[in-house]
Amino acid sequence: MKLKFKFFLAFTLIIISATLLYTKKINVAYATDLVITLATDKEEYGTGEKVTLKGNLTLEGYGFRVGLVAVEIESPISHLIFRTMKTGPLENQQWEVEITNLYPCDQYGNPKYSFKPGTFAYVKVEFENNSNSSKPIAVAVYIQYSNSVPFVAKIDKTTIPPNTSGSILSSIPIPSTAPLGTTWIFASIYTDQPKYGGFPYCPEKNATFQISTTSSSIQTSQIGTYETQTEPPSSFKFTFVLPKGTSCPFGTYTIYASAKWQNYTATASKTFKVIIIGDVDNDGDVDMDDIGIACLAFGTKPGHPRWDPRADITKDGIVDMDDIGLICLHFGEHL
């Protein structure tokens, strides 16, 4: 009798354990969560370097092919980028609020496609509320120079009544040192800033204008041609270039991302740092002292009497012209 009871007890414990393990596996595999993942190609960058941001959107552990992800990047002192990224084709979709038009213009809203450095450009975003209720909206405009360096990122918040159209006109001062060429505009509409969990109402729109020293004959703007979906379904990627020199704030940059599908919402954040490259003596600036230290260690490897690991900027185990070149490239930068 005791033997049968022990066998029954052991068998019951095995069944309970197996059930718990199976339930745990089911919960992990089929958790009803919308999840965003973010990754950058490096954790630290110097000024003037290219940054690659990749992201992924999953639902219940599987790639979500038809999603929109709001992305906001903030530098230590200001907005840097606003984008709305697609994780797959979005065809025949109905949007509660949508951008109906985007174009560069003069101060009166008349289309204009060429501006000189040292003057003002203007951008008009037209939008529409297709629903039967008022909607809070955050209209974000991000502008990127021809060299892929962020130029302007600004956001305006308002409320749009039901079944109503509206527009926002933004003035953009163009620095006298602005690079010439095709400049890209991106417009997004969110429920709020991604930083605060706001998600996209609709896909972004893009357009262009020229920064030129002469009056341009160009009378059209490229629309919707900036990027194609090259990432696997459920993923997105975009790149930008950090400003050079002291115009690029040093410190921690934060990426915020958010998305919504039906009753599911997701948010994520990630940071990267912009550091002074070439500050060998770690005194907060790149100067002749740093070049002197690198020159003293030039041609050395670990174990050599003159080896100084601080001078190995590229971290390849030797102090050579690559290291000297990087110090010279960032010469004059300081905190």
pLDDT at 189: 98
Q: What local confidence, expressed as pLDDT, does residue 227 receive?
A: 57
Q: Quick one: how far is CA 177 from the chain centroid?
A: 24
Q: Specify the pairing of strand 114-115 against strand 205-211.
A: parallel
Q: Which residue has the higher pLDDT, 281 or 76?
A: 76
Q: Pick 234 or 189 by higher pLDDT.
A: 189
Rg, Å, the chain Cα set: 26
Sign of the dihedral through C-alpha 27, 31, 36, 41: positive
Overall average pLDDT of the 107-116 stretch: 96
Give 276's contacts (C-beta < 8 A, 6+ positions apart): 46, 250, 284, 285, 286, 330, 333, 334, 335
In the prediction, which pLDDT does 29 show? 35
User: What phi and psi values does residue 297 have, to the nearest 5 degrees?
Assistant: -95, 5
Q: Kindly tell me if the per-residue pLDDT of 217 is higher than 80.
A: no
Q: What is the pLDDT, as a whole number, of residue 215?
A: 61
pLDDT for position 12: 53
Mean pLDDT of the chain: 87
Strands, DSSP E only, in 145-243? 150-160, 164-173, 181-190, 205-211, 235-241
Q: Which residue has the higher pLDDT, 9 or 47?
A: 47
Q: Does 96 have pLDDT greater than 50? A: yes
Among 78-87, 154-163, 285-294, the range scoring the smallest mean pLDDT is: 285-294
The highest-confidence range among 3-12, 130-139, 325-334, by mean pLDDT, is: 130-139
Average pLDDT over residues 74-81: 96
Q: What is the pLDDT of residue 225?
A: 56
pLDDT at 289 > cutoff 80:
yes
Round to whole Å and give the CA distance between 3 and 7: 6
Q: Rounded to whole angstroms, what are the CA distances from 314 to 98, 248, 290, 311? A: 47, 21, 15, 9
Residue 9 has pLDDT above 80, yes or no: no
Q: To the nearest whole percent, how much of the chain has pLDDT over 70? A: 85
Average pLDDT over residues 253-257: 98
Element (DSSP H or E) covering residue 119: none
Share of the chain above pLDDT 90, in %: 65
Q: How far is CA 75 from the centre of its chain?
A: 11
Spatial contact of 255 and 271, defined as CB atoms under 8 Å apart: yes
At 205 the pLDDT is: 96
Q: To which H or E segment does residue 11 belong?
A: helix 2-29
Assess whether pLDDT exceeds 70 at residue 1.
no
pLDDT, position 261: 87
Summarised one tens digit per residue, pLDDT across range 61-72 is 777 677 899 999
Determine contact, residues 240/10, Cβ cutoff 8 Å.
no
Query: pLDDT confidence of 220, banded at 50, 70, 90?
Result: low
The answer to whether residue 24 scores a pLDDT higher than 70 is no
- pLDDT of the residue at 28: 35
- Average pLDDT of span 44-57: 95
Burial call 225-255: b when 16+ CB within 10 Å, e when fewer: ebeeeebeebbbbbebbbbbeeebbbeebeb
The model's pTM: 0.82
Contact call for residues 252 and 238 (beta carbons, < 8 A) = no
Judge whether residue 109 has pLDDT over 70.
Answer: yes
Structure tokens at 187: 């417009």
